[in-house]
Structure 1
């Protein structure tokens, strides 16, 4: 990967992620790039106007403002707290309006349409069924409503010329005691659109090992799961997630850098003949994660908002990419971060100087890591991703 490589300037024949390109053309080029999204929360991606309309339809009175653009700004500013716990407080409002079947169907339908419009060709969108029971629905009814909404959105997108496939991850809240029940729900629906299981919520004080029964059940069922780890809490959560729980992927995992020693002064010599002391040194956990190709579901904008990293320039994405960890690009919560997959890619390009070759590699990383059968992952890479980027290569 050569982050210093020049890219064609604006007006050249090939569309490229050049900072000098006019914004509309540049945005269109990024939307055209096929994307694979592995870490996106359904309740973190609502359209602001939808939040308002669902609140009105179902009598939810807790919204802080009553105007769509103002509400969008409120979510973004409230999430910019530097604290995962405070960041999570914003979800009280989105979850609050998602307590009825029609609301769940609508939110899932619009999610599929919005992702497809942004050039996402495959997405795994997660949500916690246990948080959507206040309107009288049961767990199975909640999952079916979301699956029905995704199916409707995928169909609408296809009729508009945008093909997308969506898999669903059901999430258990790590501070609660329903993880085994939710894991069984994931397996019960795995032939109907649910592709895996996850735990989420505040990490501190809620280690993944509290949910070993759920993870053992998933392994015994030959089912996939990811674990939120290494976001707000450090290396111990990552170690537990992989060593004791057997996670297939790490949700965020940004704190793996706690086990990577960078040369004094933070200056790394990446040249092939660089002396050993000028390169990062990996500890045993970091080496294991890299050697086993355990995917990292990195979410740059969100990681800054929750205080996992100080700024985008300080994000270890580039360090991890250069060290050949299996890094993937993700949105986490599109509403709270006011972002899209295209937006995340643009930020990475502007910060680290990536080109289309780099972005294709990150996208293939995600496709390789999807909770899909091998032949389907291979087909997505060979038939969708590579041809899509070949057009952008010019």
Structure 2
């Protein structure tokens, strides 16, 4: 017999999120599940670089400490944990190792549902979709069919709201962010889901931030393309069908969601070695801070040209002036401007030599300069990202259940 409702807590929205959030979610109130979403495309590249240095790595290392902290509550309250923190801990791809560093298929909720059916309490996956971590408990607990596209789409929308942690409960909020209460103690969102596919977004009482129609709406718009076709391995959800009702007291009801059949493809995320990069910064102060920073950029570029250094890309940003708005930035007279310059090349020596040209600018370039610290910038390996589609028919997910 399926449950009348379940509560699925978001505990992490990315690798590097608030470390205290998972413990708060399982200790400050009742939840049935906690999902920890660690992975993004850039995270997969970082994990692959770590695994290149140490084959035993490649996973979200914060997960170990988090599990130690929350495990007593999981056992006491019968809470189940689902996370994609396994990251790059798959099998090596020896046949194409010289060309490709890794290839990860974005799996959906299906394998997680299978693990739950086998009685698993802690489920650690690789590149499972963010939405699948929340959708899977709903399928399992309510007995939904994998081809009930409206309900699967509803669970997918719930997962989309839950996936970025406190971004749905007041964090990174573009509305009246100044009045958002007690953000130092922000509460992460919780999905209270029902068998008909409707759900309520809420958070624990006594925590900071807020769950409102506005905060949930902003999260719904995060990283989507065509709102009528939000494509996941599990379905194609129609975000234009979403209805929101603000119930007050940090509760927003989400209902009326429809969707369409899943595509026959998985998304594949591949990474490959693509040269080296290095970055450095220098800060120039008033007066004429921007002009000084621009002059330093011109001088540095000319010196690298005179040295015969060739790069695939040279990029300069003037932080405090136009780093965010580029050519649309309004002219101002700033107190200081930070010149941030980076180079990229497949030639390690060229990138390394770039790092030796920064410090000389202090005494051989424009005046009023500060901010040089940390020594010469060193080349860092570029792990590039390449997306593709692969037929689901050639991918066979494996679920391994172990008792500890």
Same fold (TM > 0.5):
no
Please state which structure has a larger fraction of its residues in helix.
1
Instruction: Considering Cα pairs closer than 8 Å and 6+ residues apart, tell me whether 1 or 2 has the greater RCO.
Output: 1
Please state which structure has a larger fraction of its residues in strand.
2
* Coarse TM-score class (shorter-chain normalised): under 0.3
